[in-house]
A and B are shown apart, each in its own frame.
Chain A
């Protein structure tokens, strides 16, 4: 059974700082997603990572995937208040799970001015 663990679950940090959110998963998968959710809103797609070594960057966010370690990271550089949100990683469960997404618990990120 595929399990996805995110770490940390909650993070409060000051603007200008860097930090990394980790997403570990338990079995092989071809696809990993990162989403952002603002309070009371639905999910916004950030990154789709499809292969080992994939690295994608958008603004102050950079995501990477190591399929051998079954680990993805979401790195925040020089954080700004607007990045405050809950971030979810999700892993494609493959054929065995009808290609459902298996979700991490989410990381609530608060960035203080």
Chain B
């Protein structure tokens, strides 16, 4: 199947700093990528839908100035957690849809665990 790669897989940072997470589709082009957040023992929570060449669509309650999403190419989307605080600590997972927006299968990155001290 298609491969989606996330980097880094684990990051620890100090409060107030910014952290960038990359999501790459390695063997297909993805016009749409999704960013999820997962708290321990909970399901995935969609944060935003990242569209290549346009602004991301954020879910209600997600601060767009806090979680900056850039989808500059058909194979790369980035999530930047700005001025991170301990409450931003979480497991962040990206996914990309191969094929059409309503037909392609969804593939997930390995996830990035963020710990803010």
Interfacial residues, chain A to chain B (CB-CB below 8 A)? 33, 35, 40-45, 48, 88, 92, 94-95, 98-101, 103-106, 108
Contacts and interface: CB of A to CB of B under 8 A. Distances in A.
Interface residues of B, number: 22
Contact of A101 (B6, B102, B106, B107): B106
Given A33-B106, A98-B57, A100-B34, A45 B1 contact: yes
Interface stretch (B41-49, B60-68, B70-78, B79-87): B41-49
B88 interface: no
Contacts of B108: 35, 42-45
Nearest to B105: A48
A92 B95 CA distance: 14
A100 B49 contact: yes
A41 B110 contact: yes
A85 B111 CA distance: 16
A46 B66 CA distance: 33
A41 B111 contact: yes
B107 A45 contact: yes
A64 B102 CA distance: 21
Given A45-B107, A103-B44, A98 B93 contact: no
Contacts of B105: 45, 48
Contact of B43 (A94, A95, A98, A106): A106
Interface string B21-61: 00000000000001000000111101001000000010000
A100 B110 contact: no
The 7 closest A-B pairs by CB, nearest first: A42-B111, A43-B108, A103-B43, A42-B110, A105-B43, A99-B102, A42-B108
